[in-house]
Structure 1
Amino acid sequence: MTILLEHAVAIPYVGLYLDPGTGSLLFSLIAGVVTTVFYSAKGLYYKLSGSAKGAVGTAERSVLDTWSVVIYSEGARYYGTFKPLLAQLAKARIKTLYLTSDSNDPGLTAHADLTTCFIGDGHKAWALLGRIKADVCISTTPGLDVMQFKRSKQVKHYMHLVHAPTDKAFNRPYSFDYFDSVVINGPHQERTLRFLENLRGSKPKQLIMGGCLYYDDLVNQLRNLTPERVSPVKTVLLAPTWGRNGLLSLHGSKFLHRLTQQDINLIIRPHPQSLVSEPALIQELQALFPGNLRLEWDFSPIPFEAMAKSDVMISDISGVIFDYAFLFEKPVITVGIEPVREGTEASDLPYDPWELTVLNDIGLRLTEQDIDRLTDYLPTLTQDERFKRNIRALRAEYVVNFGCAVQPIMKAIKPLIEDHANVTQPFAALERRAE
């Protein structure tokens, strides 16, 4: 059942992307309080009146039912992370509600046995999330109880899914402090989260060594992948992060000009958040470098196809470089920038974040000027088996349950569900497969 609440309330709000830790603090606090009060009053009205006026009220009351599991997604780009988990929750007949802030999220229609709902974005979404009732709420959204994403008093347990194999040190401060549990990918993430707990004296969280969920689906896609035709001209995938540490923000047209002068096919894939947070930059670069036979702009929600048909990736400090390396065992060129640490968890660490320590193992680190000689480096990168061996060793050590993360994560969810005894058989089957 799919519920749409995009017209649930006519409150003026700024229609921009607002994730926890961004935007004006004063505006966020005031708007959040006002919206929460409105929703609370509205809910009290429905409760006292005993009936909702029209379909919207009925839909909202359904969303605010009591659930075993509530999953919140910020949008379609995170559906790949939740997809394996949603499928298993449906198979186990667990009462699950999938909430998303993206009306185009495929999760709204892909799981007929689950209730799904588009709840809009901004303060409207945060206010509704503050009123849900569930045994466990699962999300990839950081910053619980830091700004807009507030804990509901009627949710017993909040679980964060780390959706990249980096150690997340470049997240904003307190991104994970107030979750009850965090599903991690490997020992490097455990090290950072435990260090920050000790530094701040915060309550230790349950750390679930589950793995990276979206690899489950991508590994299945890899098994069915038709090999690309080998071309004498190498295809380079440029996939930078967004914001102040991103290549396009730092070097923009100058960097793209250097790339387009090379004898390569170039796929430019901006980070999906760039389209939201820095659209003017992307539009300007598209106008300066329009698509042609040798240049392609890729805005698809999933980078799988672009990864598959490229020979090497160029990026910065972004989780996508490890997706590329671990899934396709292809090398990565990282441009030698020093990421800005101020205002991130990394500024509190006495050691370099994990992702900075392994860049030479998965490929080459080049300067911006080195890009002028990119084609000189490509034969070494694509033919040296050392990089493939390094990638396999890193994946084995730092990405637990590669391609089969859903089983241990479901096993961790089981004791958090109040009526888990009713779903023993489906869970037992999952546990046998995990063994």
Structure 2
Amino acid sequence: MFESLRKTYREWKGLEAFKKLPKAQRQLVFYSEGRGYWTYFEAIFKALQDEHAHPIVYVTSAENDPLLLNPPEGMQAFYVGEGSMRTLFFSTLDVRVLLMTMPDLQSFHIKRSLHPVHYVYLHHSIVSTHMVYRQAAFDHFDSILCVGPHHVQETRVREQLAGLRAKVLIEHGYGRLDAILVEGNTGPLTRSVGVSAQVLVAPSWGESGLLEQHGLDVIRPLVDAGLRVILRPHSRTRKLRPEILDAICEHYRDEPLFRLDEDGDGRASLIESDLMVSDWSGAALEFSLGLERPTLFVDVARKILSPGYEAIGLDPLEARIRTQIGTIVAPQDLASLGSIAADLIGDAHQWQSSIRTAREHWVFNSGTSGSVAAAHLVSLLD
């Protein structure tokens, strides 16, 4: 109880400190919903500093966000939590521009301010907008930084079907992908003799998710095939179904080939892996398009948060792109996952051209997305 009160007090103090900033110092605000979200903002912030020398205010819901303790030059950082103080932060917001990765603005308790704020949505996944998000997830933003042509097309069709005003759609790209391209060595990894290949298991979450449906049966055939396995579950799986992860970790607690990775960013696990095993997760697109290595998709039921998504008449990117960047395996074939994965790793070099072509088609401005977004944000302040 006392810790809860102390936490609320810290959130209130953070909100109070933010509100005390002169309005001239809080023209451009980034809102981060969690510790692992900075990776999506980073390229934009860097471009704002390097190309425009423009400061920002960073507001986070994560008390353990490292930027609170050590904000870089050009940033002031504040903590508001994810409860009543965050709701109050949004409802009373009086700034020029707010950049955020959290969808569903205006749909639930997070509302647009009564003040004239320009809301910019920053996609934190490459996947399509109309199947794994709620129907009105993006309806109430003013600008959207689109990853690729699929986002532009889907958003315009949604606007037409729902009679919505046209938003400003920016051909942006994807900062996290840019970071992976810079940090990782694209193409198949070269392993020393005797060093096993590494498979990253990184599925989505939900009742139809790979771990929720199959749990240990996903990991076992990979380990039995002598492959090193890193399990990187979605944070929502840890929150909603922790017993699944605990059972897997207990089973493999003395297994040197198995490791659990719950780091919010997880780029290191991506870059070090030869192959990803996934379901409908956007992480698979980051892995393959960023590293030019294939993904093995287990064909569990689609993750659908918008039951009427087919009305748009466009198959989601995450369905269309699968055969361009990897192989699909039926759930009933999980026992063969180890041998299928080993074969795919062995043929990884054959996938590079197809994956590179897919990236060039589906992602805007690879390598320069931060500059594009920064220029748009600054234009909104002029």
**TM-score computed with the length of structure 1 as normaliser:** 0.78
The residue number in structure 1 matching 2:183 is 221
**Among residues 59, 62, 73, which one is paired with 2:17 in the alignment?**
59
- 1:391 aligned partner, one-letter code: I
**C-alpha contact 2:120 2:143 (8 A) present in aligned 1:** yes
How has the CA–CA distance of structure 1 residues 244 and 347 changed in structure 2, closer, same or farther, with 3 Å as cutoff?
farther
Deviates more, 1:363-372 or 1:272-281: 272-281
Give 1:320 shift. 0.5
Deviates more, 1:277-286 or 1:348-357: 277-286
- 1:216 aligned partner, one-letter code: D
- 1:407 aligned partner, one-letter code: S
| Counterpart-to-counterpart distance in 1, 2:115 and 2:185 | 42
The residue number in structure 1 matching 2:66 is 106
**Among residues 154, 157, 160, which one is paired with 2:115 in the alignment?**
154
- 2:366 aligned partner, one-letter code: F
- 2:292 aligned partner, one-letter code: E
Give 1:247 shift. 0.6
Tell me the SS of whatever aligns to 2:249.
helix
**Among residues 349, 354, 362, which one is paired with 2:312 in the alignment?**
349
Kindly indicate whether residue 348 of structure 2 is the aligned counterpart of residue 389 of structure 1: no
**Among residues 369, 376, 379, which one is paired with 1:405 in the alignment?**
369
**C-alpha contact 2:134 2:305 (8 A) present in aligned 1:** no
The structure having more radius of gyration, on CA atoms, is: 1
Bigger RCO of structures 1 and 2 (CA < 8 A, at least 6 apart): 2
Tell me the SS of whatever aligns to 1:394.
helix
Give 1:59 shift. 1.7
Kindly indicate whether residue 33 of structure 2 is the aligned counterpart of residue 74 of structure 1: yes
| Counterpart-to-counterpart distance in 2, 1:89 and 1:166 | 26
Tell me the SS of whatever aligns to 2:353.
helix
| Unmatched tracts of structure 1, length 5 or more | 12-38, 40-54, 421-435
Q: Give the length in aligned residue pairs.
A: 371
Kindly indicate whether residue 97 of structure 2 is the aligned counterpart of residue 133 of structure 1: no
- 1:154 aligned partner, one-letter code: H
The residue number in structure 2 matching 1:366 is 329
The residue number in structure 2 matching 1:172 is 134
| Counterpart-to-counterpart distance in 2, 1:396 and 1:327 | 11
Tell me the SS of whatever aligns to 2:212.
helix
The residue number in structure 2 matching 1:181 is 143
Which runs of structure 2 are paired with 1:252-291 in the superposition (5 Å)? 252-290=215-253
Give 1:393 shift. 0.2
**Among residues 290, 298, 309, which one is paired with 1:335 in the alignment?**
298
Tell me the SS of whatever aligns to 2:263.
coil
| Counterpart-to-counterpart distance in 2, 1:63 and 1:132 | 12
Kindly indicate whether residue 380 of structure 2 is the aligned counterpart of residue 416 of structure 1: yes
- 1:392 aligned partner, one-letter code: R
Kindly indicate whether residue 265 of structure 2 is the aligned counterpart of residue 305 of structure 1: no
How has the CA–CA distance of structure 1 residues 58 and 312 changed in structure 2, closer, same or farther, with 3 Å as cutoff?
closer
**C-alpha contact 1:136 1:155 (8 A) present in aligned 2:** no
**C-alpha contact 1:129 1:149 (8 A) present in aligned 2:** yes
Tell me the SS of whatever aligns to 1:414.
helix
**TM-score computed with the length of structure 2 as normaliser:** 0.88
| Counterpart-to-counterpart distance in 1, 2:123 and 2:138 | 10
| Counterpart-to-counterpart distance in 1, 2:246 and 2:306 | 28
How has the CA–CA distance of structure 1 residues 348 and 372 changed in structure 2, closer, same or farther, with 3 Å as cutoff?
same
Q: Deviations over 1:368-422 (max 9, x none)?
A: 23232234332344325442111000100111111210111112112210xx3xx
How has the CA–CA distance of structure 1 residues 245 and 346 changed in structure 2, closer, same or farther, with 3 Å as cutoff?
farther
The residue number in structure 1 matching 2:283 is 320
**C-alpha contact 2:46 2:370 (8 A) present in aligned 1:** no
Give 1:224 shift. 12
How has the CA–CA distance of structure 1 residues 144 and 103 changed in structure 2, closer, same or farther, with 3 Å as cutoff?
same
Q: Percent identity?
A: 25
Q: Deviations over 1:255-312 (max 9, x none)?
A: 3334333221111111133223333332233223325211111112222221222211
| Unmatched tracts of structure 2, length 5 or more | none
| Counterpart-to-counterpart distance in 2, 1:307 and 1:73 | 22
| Counterpart-to-counterpart distance in 2, 1:236 and 1:57 | 43
- 1:107 aligned partner, one-letter code: L
The residue number in structure 2 matching 1:34 is none
Tell me the SS of whatever aligns to 1:276.
helix
Tell me the SS of whatever aligns to 2:27.
strand
| Counterpart-to-counterpart distance in 2, 1:143 and 1:386 | 40
Deviates more, 1:235-244 or 1:343-352: 343-352
How has the CA–CA distance of structure 1 residues 199 and 259 changed in structure 2, closer, same or farther, with 3 Å as cutoff?
same
**Among residues 105, 112, 117, which one is paired with 2:78 in the alignment?**
117
| Counterpart-to-counterpart distance in 2, 1:355 and 1:10 | 40
Deviates more, 1:237-246 or 1:173-182: 237-246
Root-mean-square deviation over aligned CA pairs: 2.7
Deviates more, 1:379-388 or 1:142-151: 379-388
| Counterpart-to-counterpart distance in 1, 2:344 and 2:162 | 45
Tell me the SS of whatever aligns to 2:117.
strand
Kindly indicate whether residue 46 of structure 2 is the aligned counterpart of residue 87 of structure 1: yes
Tell me the SS of whatever aligns to 2:96.
strand
| Counterpart-to-counterpart distance in 1, 2:347 and 2:179 | 28
Q: Deviations over 1:31-58 (max 9, x none)?
A: xxxxxxxx9xxxxxxxxxxxxxxx7786
